[in-house]
Amino acid sequence: MKKSPMEVFQAFGQGMMSGTDSWKEVISDDIVFTGPVDQVNGLDAFAKLNENFMPMIRGNEMKQAVEAGNFVITQMEMQVAMPSGKTITLDMSEWYEIKDGKIQSVKIYYDAEEFRHESSPTL
């Protein structure tokens, strides 16, 4: 049975939170990730990006998730522990493009100014 874009998105989220690699089952081998700080292509690069970022997450709250055609669009707040020791809150919008039961692309939007400020060493 074909999964809806929302079901694929939910499987991705559950896999990410499980601490296993099960989320990779719903990711296209040639996924394209675009965000304000990083841009990567391919499953291996996307996995490495997540492996580096996931340990920094201290909490998140899904405000809404909407399915529109082949897309799942979310608004969420994520608490991220920065190398400086400070925890910042990112108000994010995510666009997941899903085709044939796999996430093809992810575009993430947030104000990266505080993220950049906290992650770069002060001189």
| In the predicted structure, residue 93 carries a pLDDT above the cut 70 | yes
Residue 40 lies in a domain: yes
- Domain range for 112 is 5-117
Average per-residue pLDDT for the chain? 92
Q: What is the largest CA-CA distance in the chain?
A: 56
Residue 123 lies in a domain: no
CATH of the domain at 90: 3.10.450.50
Residue 122 lies in a domain: no
Is 88 or 17 the better-scoring residue by pLDDT?
Answer: 88
Q: Do the Cβ atoms of 9 and 65 come closer than 8 Å?
A: yes
Q: How many domains does the chain have?
A: 1
Is 112 or 97 the better-scoring residue by pLDDT?
Answer: 97
- Tens-place pLDDT, residues 47-69: 999 888 888 999 999 999 999 99
64's CB contacts (< 8 A; 6+ apart) are: 74, 75
